[in-house]
Amino acid sequence: MCIRVTKEKADNIIKLCSRLILKEEITIREFAQVIGKLVATEPGVQYAPLYIKSLEITKDLLLKQNYGNFDAKMTLSDGNISDLNWWVNNINSSFKPMTFNYGLSKESSEIIIASWKPATRQQYWTYFKRWLLFCSERKINSFKATELNVLEFLTSLYKIGLGYSAINTARSMLSSFMSVNQEKTVGQWPLVKRFLKGIFNLKPSLPRYQRTWDVEVVLKYLKTLTPVYMLSLRVLSYKLVTLLLLLTGQRLQTIHSLDLDDITVTDSNIYIDVRSLLKCSKPGRHLQPIELPAFIEDKSLCIVTVLKEYLVRTSCFRKTQKLILSCIKPYSWTLG
């Protein structure tokens, strides 16, 4: 027995989504209203959450960026348009079996999904949707598929032109929730391992960079960006971020997540104790505090001098504790 959205509601969803897709610019309010309509269809659309989640993430990020202003303008991303097109093309044929249940509550499912870091979740999401659709078309239990099912799915990705790196990501996604007798994950299945080796030979994924760049060239240029009080906010921001990356050796994500509450600045050093969850964070392991001493030999490359100037320059319009702000109005926290 299945539940379906009524023809009238389905037609309305198609009309609303099509209107958004055709507009070059919309307000966040218009976007949110359509999302609300989509959420209301969940009881009758089996895969609704898969094509709503990324839209909600976009909405939340834009609202944060615009300080809760629903009337702020926005432009749909390619991913947003793709999700809206799914609704246009599939709402009429969608349904939800009343017995559809994998034994997990909604809360349990959300907690399991939360085990993926945001970047990983974004990376996996595309393949997760493809996997569920693949299983739906073949009436396969997506949580208890066979090795043959997985190989056919990975082959379908290869046929549409994906290479080793993308297919390996899909394999990793499946490994995160599928196993045999709670022992071997998908990536450990013999034929899957052999299949991935074959994909690598057919479409190898080679290192993007074959050589490193000369840091001295960058430092020489940074030395010309002085005195700091004469620099534009944009150039000052670039100099600060570049020095932080070079001196800390951290990922861009770490610099992006820095909070003023994490930083102590004195005349002699900067002490950074990151409290945000990072890609490298694991239970019982987190980034150790970082101490950056002042470079008194050359103030043009001194991180303390640059950071102090940046904090002074941004103090008059700062509305967030996040360190790195946008260089243009409304000078919000950069969303990466």
pLDDT digits (tens, 9 = 90+) for 148-160: 999 999 999 999 9
Structural contact between residues 143 and 177, judged by C-beta atoms closer than 8 angstroms: yes
Low-confidence ranges of the chain (pLDDT < 70): 1-2, 97-106, 109, 179-183, 277, 279-282, 334-336
Strands (E), 53-196: 73-74, 96-97, 179-180, 184-185
Q: Distance between CA 262 and CA 277 in Å, rounded?
A: 13
Q: What is the SS3 assignment for 263?
A: strand
pTM of the model: 0.54
Q: How large is the greatest C-alpha to C-alpha distance in the chain, in angstroms?
A: 76
Residue 100: predicted pLDDT: 39
Residue 50: predicted pLDDT: 81
Residues 6+ apart with CB under 8 A from 298: 223
Structural contact between residues 195 and 151, judged by C-beta atoms closer than 8 angstroms: yes
Q: Distance between CA 54 and CA 80 in Å, rounded?
A: 7
Residue 28: predicted pLDDT: 93
